[in-house]
Chains A and B, each alone.
Chain A
Amino acid sequence: MIFILLFPVLSSLILILFGRYLNKKIVSLFSPISILIPFIIGIMNFDKAGDNIIYHIYRWISIGNINIEFALKWDHLSAAMVLMVTGVSFLIHVYSIGYMAEDKSYPRFFAYMNLFTFFMLVLVLSSNIIMMFVGWEGVGLCSYLLIGFWFEKESAAKAGMKAFIVNRIGDLGFLIGIFWILYVVRSADFIKINSFVSSGLMPVATATIIGLLLFAGATGKSAQIPLYVWLPDAMEGPTPVSALIHAATMVTAGVYMIVRLNGIYSLTPTASMVVAVVGVWTAFYAATIALTQTDIKKVLAYSTISQIGYMVFAAGIGAYGAAIFHLIMHAFFKALLFLGAGSVIHAMGGIQDMRKMGGLKKYMPTTFYTFLIAGLAISGVPGFAGFFSKDEILANSYFMNHRILWIIGIMTALLTALYIFRLIFMTFYGEPRMDKEVQYHIHESPKTMTIPLIILAVLSTIGGYISLPEFISKHSLWKSYMDKIIVFKKEILFTHTTEINLTLLSSFIAILGIFIAWYLYVKNTGLPDKLSNKFKFFHKLSYDKYYIDEIYEFVFINPVVYGSEGIYQWFDIAVIDGIVNGSGKFSLYSGNLLSYFQSGFLKDYIYHIITGAILILTIFVLGL
């Protein structure tokens, strides 16, 4: 099992150290294969996951009586995550061969991507929460490196820094949460934590505090309100990075963490409620922003925030299986959306503004059709992956009587279909709006890029059938699979007629959203501008992202930066140093004696110091 980790990390090390001397072909072979091997190992061991195996590697830290092992936990949750991470990562590696072909820092890119995959695997495989934190911070590091991959661009460098620091804020909460667990459970091990919780030893109040602190970390990593601000900026990184890190894998770590610790969260209705509300609100909020963005990647970024909101919402209401189900389906179709967008950007020579696109359908059919499938999947059109997974979340919330949250969820579903088809219509339909020069160069992407698109499109279509709604099949494969890792199992009564009605409703919502998008952006193309002029205030609010970045800058960043500078000038230099220098000067002017000693020659001073010391020494030592 250790080989799962060994291959990506060794490959990354080799590429970092010797990448510049290696042939490009070797790099393109070497790096994806080091991800493919872990995927194969994962598949071969998949059936063993039911046995909850722990692989000890070595003892990492031991303090007091707490030992922190570097050990891997192979169970249903980690197995599913490993397959998703390595699978998607492999496809994106292959895609990058084409996408990054022209880049000067080709080996560096693959080194970082390998390293990222390594840390992501550490995150999902670790058997205790502290090793999980290592993975958690490690993926953050790689995210920082890859966002700022083109570091000469001021905005890219800035975005990387912002991502890391914003995440650090959440991580402090996470760290304190870990301490609290250690404090009560006296162990960081997931098995011990769960048995501690299930034996009823943890007070509810403690579980609430721990749950909230850990969730603070999740709001950073999984880009939820209020710490989501870094993710849209993270789009400065190369597009495969956005697909892998900022859509499919890393940003879902928060959801994974909640599900991993579902014992604690099941114990605390308060913390779970906070999680659910933040999740569904983020889902809705981000969708409203995605509606008006004109940068193709920004739309997808806010869409990601919104979709993770769904997962967090699911985890908050205790539908852990549904959360992970949506997580994996989302990994497929969102990776596909980003890679498709990357293919478009690639063809457009770097242009990301959708207002300068249009009519791309006929130039790049593979990209278009795969993108369309992803669009159908995320909108929740019946038959596609997103339909099953989103529906399960909404059904769960309905049957658990979270009706208000359910309504927000339904509204978000409408917005989702609307913004994603707005994107599709603006990009692939209508008249081409780009310059002639650009239009001339538009081409379908090379095979290394389109084949991953096709595979992901297949997955986005058939993936959903692992968990069919209850009214179709009584025993969903996925549900019984996930039940193994849930500490407190609860049965929710799904009434079939209601469930069928709900399914019909969400199917209708999805199709309605697509219809509105079609009406606005294909049929009646003048209308969007009229609408945005009419509702200027709301349009601007959404377009400018509710000015949250500006508010944060004004409320948090500026006070810290200017405050520190002020304190430095007015306190550190003026007051503290003033006292020090002042007392020096005072004695300087106050006596001739001192001015005599201040001769300015180094040797004099040393002489005085030594004689003084010896004098004092002799007086005391001899005098005693």
Chain B
Amino acid sequence: MQMLEYILFGPFIFALIILLIPKEKSRIIMPVSAFLSVIHFILSLYLFFNFDETNRGFQFVINKKWLNPGINFHIGIDGVSLLLILLTTFLFPIAFFASFKSITKKQKGFAISMFLLEGGIIGVFVSLNLLLFYIFWEIMLIPMYFIIGIWGSKNRIYASFKFVLYTMAGSLLMLLAIIFYFKSAGGVSFELTDWLSKGPLPDHIQGWLFLAFALAFMIKIPLFPFHTWLSDAHTEAPTAGSIILAGVLLKMGVYGFIRFALPLFPYILLQYRELLIILSIIGIIYGGFMALAQKDMKRLVAYSSVSHMGIIMLGFLVLNKEGFTGAIYQMLNHGLSTGALFLLVGILYERTHTRQIADYGGVAKLMPIYSAFFMLVMFSSAGLPGLNGFIGEFMILWGTFEFKKILAVFAGTGIIIGAAYLLWMYRRVMQGPVKQTIKEKLVDLNIREILVLIPIIILIIWMGVYPSTFTNKITVPVSIQKYIMTIKGDR
């Protein structure tokens, strides 16, 4: 086995290990899982350090015969998938550490679901075979469904249903499209490379197939108006679920556009590009305004995700190098800052069991360390220069400006609204007079919580101050290189 296989199958093996832990020892399940996921993260750093930045193709490639001649076990990564995998392996330990106290029942099932989820996510990011990709895409769905449905809060059943129905609706169409494409492309291979080397299908078929793919991805992102599953799923999921959902799952939609929708259906995508850009921009502004209207902290963060994912999608859709780099970078930023926001809201929820903004006040007085972390993460999310969010937003807006000036203005209003809903929430929750009803319950962070937050904070600052560490890895994939403009006037 090679390194990438270890990274991919690691979580599945971990799930097996957890399965073997006897019931009476369920207390050690969460620490063991957290430990395993940390090991996994360290292993994944191998990919980072051995990644060849000058090579624009896929690296660590494994191509084995699997089911049929056309269905190979074909995996490999480029800069885009590398960073997304690292984001995944980074966020899972955090999600586990965050669950020590909040997951009190059926820890075994939870840990197994989490590891299956992680395996599925990594599978999506490494697959270079369409069928393999689809299998991993669907594998993820089931554990996520359980995580929301079993360990979620009050309204979890409705939320998990909505999540599954929404995503299934998209992905089943995608499956049909994959199979149809397979047939139209000669019926011999599901290999992405084979499909690409054949060139695009005739236009009249392409259109429908593209729509099927695009719908699945748009729901995942989620692009306006397919976003209503998100607010429910985020709100009802346990903290760990929200972290992974916002941190990684949403990125798979954008990833799908980059890896599959654009290279397979370039002309159709270009035809629909304007519509998609409009939807992204509506999402940015609409998501922001909806966040303003929320009274539930988690729901507020969920809607902020809609806004941020709109910015990321816009960065991709302007199809130039600035926007593309920014979009990838912003995916990491959003994963970190939104993940951290959910974590922080979760910490508060664990203490008081309410997420209503109105129930809080003066938290900063009672929990100074907590509020300092919160503020840093908030400004990261609001794109304050010097922190990570700014780099991504700057690149995306700059790419957008190169594409069409006025669009940058529209998208830029997102940063005003972003500051507004975050600071307004901060003011109502953290500042002001102390609410007596929650006074007793609020104790400042313990060592475990601080230790979970510190790596995130370090990355937030590092990525803002010295972004080259990561931007160097972002190269435009070969398969879409010809569609990504280099700016004419660049000297």
| B293 CB contact (under 8 Å) in A157, A179, A180, A564 | A564
Say if the beta carbon of B408 comes within 8 Å of chain A: yes
Residue of A nearest to B289 (CB): A564
Residue of chain B at shortest CB distance from A573 = B228
Inter-chain contact total with CB atoms closer than 8 Å? 166
Shortest Cβ distance from residue B129 to the other chain A in the assembled complex, whole angstroms = 13
Would you call A138 and B415 a contact (CB within 8 A)? Answer: no
Chain A residues near B187 (CB-CB < 8 A): 624
Q: Are A572 and B175 in contact (CB under 8 A)?
A: no
The reply to whether B168 and A165 contact each other, CB–CB distance below 8 Å, is no
Interface string of A591-618 (1 = CB under 8 A from B): 0000000000010011001100100110
CB-nearest residue of chain A to B226:
A576
A175 within 8 A of B: yes
B228-A576 in contact (CB<8A)? yes
Q: Decide: A613 and B138 in contact? CB cutoff 8 A.
A: yes
Does B364 have its Cβ within 8 Å of any Cβ on chain A?
Answer: yes
Contact B416 A165 (CB under 8 A): yes
- The reply to whether B419 and A63 contact each other, CB–CB distance below 8 Å, is no
User: Which one of A148, A160, A165, A576 lies within 8 Å of B420 (CB-CB)?
Assistant: A165
Residue among A61, A605, A620 with the highest chain B CB neighbour number at 10 A: A61
A565 touches B293 (CB 8 A): yes
Whether B289 and A609, one on each chain, are in contact in the complex, defined by CB atoms closer than 8 angstroms, is no
Indicate with 1 or 0, residue by residue over A32-71, a CB within 8 angstroms of chain B CB atoms: 0000000000000000000000000011111111100000
Q: What 1/0 flags go to B394-435 for Cβ under 8 Å of A?
A: 110110011001001100110110011001101100111110
A154 touches B433 (CB 8 A): yes
- In the complex, the answer to whether B432 meets A157 with C-beta atoms within 8 Å is yes
Q: A584-B165, A609-B164 are in contact. Are A63 and B402 (CB under 8 A)?
A: no
Q: Is A539 an interface residue (CB 8 A)?
A: no
Q: Does B486 contact A (CB under 8 A)?
A: yes
Contacting residues, chain B, for A580 (C-beta < 8 A): 162, 166, 228-229
Minimum C-beta distance from A131 to chain B (A): 9
Option from A58, A144, A151 in Cβ contact (under 8 Å) with B430:
A151
Residues 200-239 of B contacting A (Cβ, < 8 Å): 225, 227-229
Between B385, B390, B427, the greatest number of chain A beta carbons within 10 A of the residue's beta carbon is seen for: B385
**A382 → chain B, closest Cβ, in Å?**
44
Question: Whose C-beta in chain B lies nearest to the C-beta of A565?
Answer: B293
Distance (whole angstroms) from the CB of B49 to the closest CB of chain A: 21
Taking CB atoms and an 8 Å cut-off, the chain A residues in 381-419 that contact chain B are: none
Contact B165 A560 (CB under 8 A): no
Complex contact B379–A64 (CB within 8 A): no
Q: Does B480 make an interface contact (CB < 8 A)?
A: no
CA distance in complex: A130, B390 (Å)? 11
Query: For the complex, is A116 an interface residue (Cβ under 8 Å from B)?
Result: no
Bound Cα distance from A65 to B292, whole angstroms: 38
Within 8 A of B (CB), among A561-586: 561, 563-565, 567-569, 572, 576-577, 580, 584
* Interface residue ranges of A131-181 to B (CB < 8 Å): 133-134, 136-138, 141, 144, 148, 151-152, 154, 157-158, 160-161, 164-165, 168-169, 171-172, 175-176, 179-180
Do residues A602 and B432 form an inter-chain contact, with CB atoms below 8 A? no
Interface size counted on chain A using CB atoms at 8 A: 63
A567 engages B293 (CB within 8 Å): yes
Query: A138 and B385: CB pair below 8 A?
Result: yes
Interface residues of B in 368-406 (CB under 8 A from A): 372, 379, 384-386, 390-391, 394-395, 397-398, 401-402, 405
B459 interfacial by beta-carbon distance below 8 Å? no
Give chain A residues whose Cβ lies under 8 Å from the Cβ of B391. Answer: 61
B195 adjacent to chain A (CB < 8 Å): no
Q: Chain A residues near B431: list those with CB within 8 A.
A: 148, 151-152, 154, 157
Nearest Cβ distance between residue B466 and chain A, in whole angstroms? 8
Q: A561 touching B292 by the CB < 8 A rule?
A: yes
The distance in angstroms between the C-alpha atoms of A133 and B397, with both chains bound, is 15
A605 touches B290 (CB 8 A): no
Contact with A along B304-318 (1 / 0, CB 8 A): 000000000000000
A530 CA to B80 CA in the complex, in Å? 74
Residue numbers in B under 8 Å from A59 (CB-CB): 468
A60, A179, A584, A621: the one contacting B397 at CB < 8 Å is A179
- Pairwise interchain contact B292-A616, C-beta atoms closer than 8 A: no
Residues of A contacting B229 with CB < 8 Å?
Answer: 580
Q: Is the CB of B362 within 8 A of A564?
A: no
- Which of B146, B168, B397, B468 contacts A175 (CB under 8 A)? B397
- The answer to whether the Cβ of B442 comes within 8 Å of any Cβ in the partner chain is no
Name the one of B68, B420, B432 contacting A154, with C-beta atoms under 8 angstroms: B432
Instruction: Tell me if A479 counts as interface (CB < 8 A to partner B).
Output: no
Is A182 within 8 A of B398, CB to CB?
A: yes
| Cα(A572)–Cα(B228), bound, Å | 7
Q: Which residue of B lies closest to A561 (CB)?
A: B292
Once the chains bind, are B487 and A64 in contact (CB under 8 Å)? yes
Q: Does A21 contact B (CB under 8 A)?
A: no
Interface residues of B in 247-298 (CB under 8 A from A): 286, 289-290, 292-294
Q: How far is the CA of A172 from the CA of B146 in the complex (A)?
A: 43
Given A62-B471, A65-B490, A605 and B289 contact (CB-CB distance below 8 Å): no
* Closest-CB distance, A199 to chain B (whole angstroms): 15
Q: Say yes or no: B432 contacts A568, CB within 8 Å.
A: no
| Assembled-state Cα–Cα distance A621/B71 (Å) | 10
Asked if residues A134 and B386 are in contact (CB atoms below 8 Å), the reply is yes
Q: Which of B129-149 contact A (CB under 8 A)?
A: 138, 141-142, 145-146, 149
Residues of A within 8 A of B395 (CB): 61, 63
Q: Closest Cβ of chain B: how far from A171's Cβ, in Å?
A: 8
When the two chains form their complex, are residues B364 and A172 in contact, meaning their CB atoms are under 8 A apart?
A: no
Which residues of B lie under 8 Å from residue A584 when comparing CB positions?
165
Tell whether, in the assembled complex, residue A152 and residue B149 are in contact, meaning their CB atoms are under 8 Å apart. Answer: no
Task: Report Cα–Cα, A160/B466, bound state, in Å.
Answer: 29
Cα A475 to Cα B69 with chains together (Å): 88
Instruction: Give residues 416-475 of B contacting A (CB, 8 Å).
Output: 416, 419-420, 423-424, 426-427, 430-434, 465-468, 471
Is B325 in the interface zone, CB < 8 Å from A? yes
CB 8 Å contact bits of B73-89 with A (1 = contact, 0 = none): 00000000000000000
Question: Which residues in A have their C-beta under 8 angstroms from that of B294?
Answer: 568
Decide if B419 touches A164 in the complex (CB within 8 Å): yes
* Distance of A569 Cα from B128 Cα, bound (Å): 43
B489: CB under 8 A from chain A? Answer: yes
Taking a contact as CB atoms closer than 8 A, the residue among A151, A569, A609, A610 that contacts B432 in the complex is A151
User: Which B-chain residue is minimally distant from A169 (CB atoms)?
Assistant: B416
Query: Within the assembled complex, what's the spacing in Å between the Cα atoms of A545 and B388?
Result: 40
Contacts of B145 in A (CB 8 A): 605-606
Contacts of A569 in B (CB 8 A): 293
8 Å CB contact of B424 from A60, A161, A168, A616? A161
- Knowing A186-B490, A580-B228, the reply to whether A602 touches B150 (Cβ < 8 A) is yes
| Chain A 169-204 per-residue mask, 1 if CB under 8 angstroms from chain B, else 0 | 101100110011011001000000000000000000
A65 / chain B contacts, CB cutoff of 8 Å: 487, 490-491
On whether A567 and B290 interact (CB within 8 A), knowing A148-B431, A161-B423, A606-B142, the answer reads yes
Which B residues have a C-beta under 8 Å from some C-beta of A? 68, 138, 141-142, 145-146, 149-150, 162, 164-166, 168, 172, 175, 179, 182-183, 187, 225, 227-229, 286, 289-290, 292-294, 320-322, 325-326, 362, 364-365, 372, 379, 384-386, 390-391, 394-395, 397-398, 401-402, 405, 408-409, 412-413, 415-416, 419-420, 423-424, 426-427, 430-434, 465-468, 471, 486-487, 489-491
Given contacts A64-B320, A151-B431, A172-B412, 10 further A-B contacts (CB under 8 A): A59-B468, A60-B466, A64-B487, A65-B490, A160-B427, A172-B413, A564-B289, A564-B292, A568-B289, A621-B68
Enumerate chain A interface residues (CB-CB to B < 8 A): 16, 58-66, 130, 133-134, 136-138, 141, 144, 148, 151-152, 154, 157-158, 160-161, 164-165, 168-169, 171-172, 175-176, 179-180, 182-183, 186, 560-561, 563-565, 567-569, 572, 576-577, 580, 584, 602, 605-606, 609-610, 613, 616-617, 620-621, 624
Pairs across A and B, CB under 8 Å, 6 listed: A137-B386, A161-B427, A165-B420, A165-B423, A179-B397, A602-B150
Query: A-B pairs with the 7 shortest C-beta distances?
Result: A157-B431, A568-B293, A151-B431, A65-B490, A564-B289, A134-B385, A564-B293
